[in-house]
Homo-oligomer: A and B are copies of this chain.
Amino acid sequence: MPYHHGDLRRALLDTALEAIGEQGPAAVSLREVARRAGVSHAAPTHHFRDKTALLTAIAAEGWSLLADALREAAASGGDFADLGVAYVVFATSHPAHFAVMRAPGLTRADDPELEAAMERARTELRSGVERFEAGSTRDADTTALAAWSLVHGLATLILEGAVPLKTDADITEVARAVTARLRPP
């Protein structure tokens, strides 16, 4: 092992995600992440100012990945329901990211990178809503907020185990059925 790690920043992010997947975001310690990554307890300092900065970076990465997934779903000609499905599928396939994204207080909400990533995801979802609302005279902001609330809440409930789901097909099916409960214009 060389003295200089090579890409410790990425390694710390991956190691943290692994630990979060096992123990949840609140129970993870910086020192444990450092141990798992094979570096000293103070090594993370040079890549993340403090624990909050690490978790904030993970949250930002999560929102960015979510935005990518939403964009892809929209690009492949999907309607609004497909965006909803993509949202829920992201949450279930990236549980550690999603847990950090919705953990109150663990991240620095005013971080520019985090805000930008959230804004990007919001925009992607918003564009799907606008297609959904084509030709409507309803308040698009309200519809967007309803859609955002619906998929965010659904993903949360599924991850909390409130909805027993076996396969990915189940998830897709439930997500599609739930988004269908949104009233079209």
Residues of chain A touching chain B, judged by Cβ–Cβ distance below 8 Å, are 23-27, 99, 102-106, 109, 139, 142-143, 145-154, 156-157, 159-163, 174, 177-178, 180-184
Contact = CB atoms under 8 A, between A and B. Distances in A.
A95 to B, nearest CB: 10
A16 to B, nearest CB: 14
A139 B159 CA distance: 22
A104 B103 contact: yes
Given A105-B24, A105-B25, A156 B160 contact: no
Q: How many copies does the complex hold?
A: 2
Given A99-B104, A182-B181, A154 B149 contact: yes
Nearest to A138: B181
A60 to B, nearest CB: 15
Contacts of A157: 145, 148-149, 152
A150 B161 contact: no
A177 to B, nearest CB: 5
9 contacts: A24-B104, A139-B177, A146-B154, A146-B178, A146-B181, A148-B153, A148-B157, A152-B156, A181-B182
Given A102-B102, A182-B182, 20 more contacts: A25-B104, A26-B104, A26-B106, A103-B104, A109-B161, A139-B177, A142-B177, A142-B178, A142-B181, A145-B157, A145-B174, A146-B181, A148-B153, A148-B157, A149-B150, A151-B153, A152-B153, A156-B156, A180-B183, A183-B184
